[in-house]
Amino acid sequence: MAEPGPVLRPLELAPGRRRAPALPVVVALRVLGDALAVVGAGLAAYEYRFYLSGIPIPGDAVPPFGPYVQAIPAVVAIWVLTFAATGRYRVRRGESYVDEVLGAIGSGALTVVLVLATEGAAHGFPYSRLVLADAFAMAGVLFLAERGLIRVAQAALLRGGHGQERALVVGSGMAARVLVQRLRMFPEYGYGLVGVVQPGPVGSPETLGLPPGVPVFSLDASLPRILARERVDAVFLALGGGSHDRTLELARTCAAAGATVKLVPDVLEIMTSAAVAEEVGGLPVVGVRPNRLVGRNVAVKRVFDVVVTALLGLVVVPLVALLAVVVRLTSRGPAFYRQERLGQRGRPFHVWKLRSMVADAEAETGPVMTDSNDARRTPVGRFLRRFSLDELPQLWNVIVGEMSLVGPRPERPYFARRFAREVPRYGERLEVLPGCTGWAQVNDLRQGTSIEERTLYDLYYAENWSLGLDLKILLMTPWRLLVHRHAY
């Protein structure tokens, strides 16, 4: 007869448990920044419309400045209250700048509607609609700038430990290792890693595949004691395919100690967020999210690629021509070269690149991965690869339909065959067109990082594709090119 499992009690928070402080200064800065943006935009719009634009003024008389100044506080109040009601002042850990901006579009549109409705209901001074239009356009630009500056301040505060939650990871598999790397790589998410709890025997961080210096604890020790000693605010349970009863018991223990509990799926079981939560008669169920890049979505993405690539070409073609001349004059060999890669459904094609290495770089070694100390790079090539300028000619591959602007990066056949044997679901990346940039790349996962991690992000992209996600990745790419750590 099987032994009964542990008694599972409801999750309860310990009374009076200390929480990591929020970032009220960030909330205050957002409110103040928005208010200043609206004030500045309102004053600048009046000046531009009546003194700088050159657009004829009805009656040739400049309207008085006073009513416009008096209206600004009301517009500020509507803006701030609308953004507060729609949650745009809430500090969301891990939210990217692009997500913040895209999320604010709806709030901004609602603000415009409310301001126009208020102005129409007042039946007072006849405000110029051109001034209102210019004011909201300028406010949008100022909003982008002030929120960008505030994010820099927020990241600096979190890196310095202000407002961070002390996080503990419980697990030893791939999911735990990936999570540890993410928490350490992006302290601006607001989690400070205090250690990893191992279900089995405790080893050194290096033997467990963890970065050096990460504290490792044993699950055999008293978990409540670890939680109390390390003052843990959040616990990530990354136990993979372990016992459900054991997982729930650990969750109960953590919650009873006052820590927030977050469950992390095993990367090798659910390589991406390929699971979608549903409900059937009140019963939660989990379904598998299919690849979204099929049918009509493929045509929509293709039109998007062609239009955006044509626009980018106006700037990129002259730049590529200039760089090609520099490459040709500074080292022996052609300015361009073609390299075989695997495309959609495993079809081979050739990508175009600006040459960044000495001619015939792999003549003696065969296919090898580039590393940070690769002596084959030319002096100009090091600069090109640092900022991925050698990849610009691949816009031609996009035009002819061999690649997309956004998608998993194409791999050489030699490495693709090896990865397909070693990494679960790697072959599913080939169900979509490869891309010039991708979800993995804008998350700083390039050649020097784990192929398992890159596959995780590539599959997430295919299963969550939308034009909004493509646009987000394209907007994130220039910033990532400036600050990435794994391009060489």
CATH code of the domain covering residue 230: 3.40.50.720
- The percent of the chain in helix, strand and coil, each rounded to the nearest 5, is 50, 10, 35
In whole angstroms, what is the distance from residue 331 CA to residue 354 CA? 12
Q: Are residues 327 and 470 in the same domain?
A: yes
On whether residue 19 sits in a domain, the answer given is: no
- Please state, in angstroms and rounded to a whole number, the distance separating the CA atoms of residues 137 and 133: 6
Single-letter code of the amino acid located at 108: G
For residues 269-274, give the mean pLDDT: 50
Query: Based on the number of CB atoms within 10 Å of its own CB, is 390 exposed (0-12), middle (13-18) or buried (19 or more)?
Result: buried
CA distance 316 to 441: 20
In a shared domain, residues 365 and 459: yes
Tell me which residue has tokens 């990066």. 409
104 against 450, higher pLDDT: 104
Contact (Cβ atoms closer than 8 angstroms) between residue 357 and residue 378: yes
Question: Would you say residue 92 lies in a domain?
Answer: yes
Give first-to-last CA distance, the chain, whole Å: 60
Task: Tell me how far apart the alpha carbons of residues 186 and 192 are, in angstroms, rounded to a whole number.
Answer: 10
Mean pLDDT, residues 415-429 taken together: 86
Looking at the fold, whether 60 and 147 belong to one and the same domain comes out as yes
The pTM score is 0.64
Average pLDDT value for residue range 2-28: 50
Say if strands 348-354 and 336-342 run parallel, antiparallel, or are unpaired: antiparallel
- Residues 203 and 137 grouped into a single domain: no
Rounded CA separation 99/101 (Å): 5
Give me the number of domains the chain comprises: 3
List the beta bridge partners of residue 354: 336
* Whether residue 185 is found in the same domain as residue 300: no
Q: Is residue 280 assigned to a domain? A: no
How many residues in total does the chain contain? 488
> Does 376 share its domain with 474?
yes
Examine the domain organization and report whether 142 and 184 are in the same domain. Answer: no
Q: How far is residue 268's CA from residue 380's CA, in Å, rounded to a whole number?
A: 40
The answer as to whether 368 is a domain residue is yes
Residue 286 within a domain: no
CA angle (79 as vertex; 188, 145 as ends), nearest 5: 45
Can you give the residue range of the structural domain that contains 64?
24-159
Q: Say what the pLDDT of residue 462 is.
A: 86
Angle between helices 66-85 and 97-122 (to 10 degrees): 130
40 vs 162 pLDDT, higher one: 40
Domain end, chosen from 159, 184, 211, is at 159
Least confident stretch, 60-64, 264-268, 435-439: 264-268
Q: Identify the residue with better confidence: 170 or 21.
A: 170
Inside any domain, residue 420? yes
Based on the domain organization, do 447 and 357 belong to the same domain?
Answer: yes
**% pLDDT > 90, the chain:** 30
Q: Does residue 361 sit in the same domain as residue 409?
A: yes
**Cα R_g (the chain), whole angstroms:** 27
Neighbours of 118 (CB within 10 A): 14
**Same structural domain, 169 and 72:** no
Q: Give domain status of residue 248, yes or no.
A: yes
Q: Is 283 inside any structural domain?
A: no
Is residue 479 domain-shared with residue 379, that is, in the same domain? yes
Q: Which residue, 234, 233, 260, 235, is CA-closest to 19? A: 233
**pLDDT tens readout for residues 425-479:** 888 888 889 999 999 888 888 776 778 888 888 888 888 888 888 988 998 888 8
Indicate the pLDDT class of residue 25, thresholds 50, 70 and 90: confident
Closest CA to 179 of 111, 266, 303: 266
